[in-house]
Amino acid sequence: MDLDGFRVAFGRKYLLLIKVFTSELTALKVLIRFSLCIDGSLSRRSPRPRKKKKCELNSCEEGSRVVNIGQIIVGYSVGWSAPIIPKLQDPDQTPLPDLITDFQASWIGSLLYIGAMVGPYGTGFLSNHIGRRPCLMIGAVLNIVAYILVVTTTNLAMIYAIRIVSGLGMGITIVGNIVYVGEIASTHIRGILLTSTSIVGITGTLIVYAVVPFVSYVATGWIALAICLLHIVSLFFIPESPVYYAMKDEDVKTAKTLHLLGRSSDVQKILETYSNKKKASSLKDWIEIFTIKSNRWSLFITFMLGALQQLSGVAVVLFFATTIFELAGSSIRSDIATIIIGVTRLVSSLIAPLFIERSGRKILLLCSMMACALSLAVLGLYFYLDRIQSDVLENIGWLPLFALIIYFFCYEAGFGTIPNAIVGEMFRANVRSNGSSLAITLTWLVGFALTTSFTTMVENLGGDVTFWIFGGSCVFSFLFTLFCVPETKGMTLKEIQDMLS
């Protein structure tokens, strides 16, 4: 098929997503190889010299590409505990003087949420005063600090500190990226670029699953540090959000930035929407989240979608993937199974951008949620058969992996990616950072409670009941989306707020 035929078949927007995704992977390949060389895992050959290219970021797609490097670190941080916990329980691999207990392992998994819940609030305040881009840089610096601690780890307290600091950086990066991309993107590709943040995050988790089990603990820090340094350097070359300039009544900078982003036709619309407003205090911005109807609805919708995401058990599986396969007694090696799941997540996450601007957000969410419910019911059935010691188990050792592949394939095709796009479309401009921060951190509070209680749930309820509860939450998610979540396909940010009012 020729290029024109390919464009017709899959659409220019999908090609754009592939371009963003593949360019980031190319850079990552070089960085990972360099990091592994430091640990001695690969040969120390010097990389070939490359011709320098002029760094010129002149479109919202390229700006999105840069901030998505931060999403790779987010995904890396989320998946880091799964292969690291077995290393910390192995006397030949741990950098600690003593092996960690199962209770300590559960805290290593869940402490990420503590930092993530706190992180966004300071930048939620600062983003309206110093800009969106400086806040992204703050998150990048915190990520660097976290992985310096990984490289220098000597005791358990440092592991806990790594997870908290990493959570701080993660919280700032996620909220900052969603707000920034939502404001720089034009209406017809906003959904695609916002879902791309989730896709690239999954790439970071896949890197953890595919590389970390086979390198030393210290090497995991060098890999992340290389990506972090690329991220913070790249942030110096992206423009500030045009919405931020418009809110500050800096019309010339607003127009110049929109021109750089390829959105010259939107200058008048952005200025009319966001400039010449009466300046509100930070306290008033917070109050408006609850006093203005559209903001209240935005908070309700984004929090509920996020909380139901967590209650589907996704964080539990990501943090304790290796442990879950060992617990299930699956016939497939746990480290191989987690890699297969990572690849499945990545492939399936490419589905949402293909259809999000065609079929809309809502139908993808509904299909995804129902399929997740069915796959978790099957996983619960396997644990039930294991509990009653059924003879059938000998012939279905593949079932846990199969159920989780179906779960993640369906989850990332809608439930795992589209809520991020919806968060980026909600709230009025003056409260968008604060509102997004509040919704996401409330969501992480649910995730923290769930991850810290997972081992207790399995011990007291059994794996079958635990996963059936997760499946039941997916059914509730389906009903909530059906009756409460609006369709925002093709609407401007102002039109969405008018609809919610």
Grouping H, G, I as helix, E, B as strand and the rest as coil, residue 415 is helix
Q: How far is CA 34 from the centre of its chain?
A: 25
- Within 10 angstroms of residue 164's Cβ, the number of other Cβ atoms is 17
pLDDT attached to residue 138? 93
b or e along 328-358 (b: 16 or more beta carbons within 10 Å of the residue's beta carbon)? bebbeebbebbbebbbbbbebbbbbbbbbbe
CA distance 259 to 180: 16
Question: Residue 246: inside a domain, yes or no?
Answer: no
Question: Residue 51: inside a domain, yes or no?
Answer: no
Residues 6+ apart with CB under 8 A from 222: 35, 36, 38, 39, 151
Residues 6+ apart with CB under 8 A from 62: 238
For the chain, 501 residues long, give each residue's pLDDT as a single digit of tens: 444 443 444 444 444 444 444 444 444 444 334 333 434 433 344 444 444 333 334 466 777 788 889 999 999 998 888 888 888 988 988 999 999 887 888 788 778 888 888 877 767 677 878 888 999 999 999 999 999 999 999 999 999 999 999 999 998 898 888 888 888 887 777 777 777 777 788 888 888 888 888 899 999 999 999 999 999 999 998 888 888 888 888 888 888 888 888 787 778 888 877 765 545 556 777 888 888 888 889 889 988 988 898 888 887 776 666 666 666 555 567 667 778 877 887 887 777 667 666 777 788 889 989 999 999 998 888 888 888 888 777 777 778 878 888 888 888 888 887 887 787 778 887 787 788 778 877 887 887 888 777 777 877 888 788 889 999 999 999 999 999 888 887 777 778 888 887
Q: Residue holding tokens 């098929």?
A: 1
Find the domain containing 72 and state its range. 10-44+59-238+280-500
pLDDT attached to residue 162? 93
CATH number at residue 284: 1.20.1250.20
Question: Residue 361: inside a domain, yes or no?
Answer: yes
CA distance 267 to 264: 6
Question: Residue 268: inside a domain, yes or no?
Answer: no
Residue closest to 491 by CA, chosen among 186, 254, 202: 186
- Within 10 angstroms of residue 225's Cβ, the number of other Cβ atoms is 21
Question: Residue 244: inside a domain, yes or no?
Answer: no
Q: How far is CA 113 from the centre of its chain?
A: 13
Question: Residue 160: inside a domain, yes or no?
Answer: yes
Question: Residue 2: inside a domain, yes or no?
Answer: no
Please, are residues 297 and 500 in contact by the beta-carbon 8 Å criterion? Answer: yes
pLDDT attached to residue 49? 42
Q: Residue holding tokens 């009012």?
A: 501
* Number of residues in the chain: 501
**Full DSSP string of 328-352:** HT-SS-HHHHHHHHHHHHHHHHTHH
Question: Residue 247: inside a domain, yes or no?
Answer: no
Number of folded domains in the chain? 1
Helix runs in 152-240, H state only: 156-184, 187-211, 217-235
Residues 6+ apart with CB under 8 A from 449: none
Grouping H, G, I as helix, E, B as strand and the rest as coil, residue 256 is helix
pLDDT attached to residue 437? 78
pLDDT attached to residue 59? 65
**Full DSSP string of 40-88:** TSS--PPPPP---------SHHHHHHHHHHHHHHHHHHHHHHHHHHHHH
CA distance 249 to 275: 5
Please, are residues 119 and 167 in contact by the beta-carbon 8 Å criterion? Answer: yes
